[in-house]
Amino acid sequence: MNGNPQIKQCPQCGNMDSVAAGFCSRCGQKYPPYSNTFLPPTPQTTGLPPRFGSPDTIQLPPGAYDPTLAIVLAVIFSGWIGMIINKQQLKGVVVLVAGIFLILATGGLGVFVVYPLSLVDVILIGNRLKRGEPVAQWQWF
């Protein structure tokens, strides 16, 4: 090999692993025995998590991201700022605009829906990014 190990894609969940792996590191699916024949990964089907490297995916190396700032600012201001810091910029702006509209339309009661949901989302998405899991731009929780 040339220092770049070849990869294969799990037929169950679409996760990428080294061709030498016996089981999928994400879902545990058993791979067929290793052979010298390398088949390129097949396109992922709808409904599965986003494939690494797709333009709609955010993925960082495990431990490379600390969600603390996003969580603290989400507690102080609201979840939309945390979403922007969690690299889901468009989602954060949409939540800000929709939240303002909902709060105005309900006479302020919408804050009891927008604030907790967006805060939980910021915490869970931030922790996924910290663990190195792929996250879609519009993914919730």
The model's pLDDT over 79-129, given as tens digits with 9 standing for 90+, comes to 999 999 999 999 999 999 999 999 999 999 989 988 999 999 999 999 999
> Dihedral of CA 83/85/87/91: which sign?
positive
With beta carbons less than 8 A apart as the criterion, state whether 117 and 102 touch.
no
Checking if the pLDDT of 66 tops 80, the result is yes
Instruction: Choose between 2 and 23: higher pLDDT.
Output: 23
C-alpha dihedral, 102 to 104 to 105 to 109, nearest 10°: 70
Count the Cβ atoms, other than its own, within 10 Å of residue 76.
9
Percent above pLDDT 70 for the chain: 80
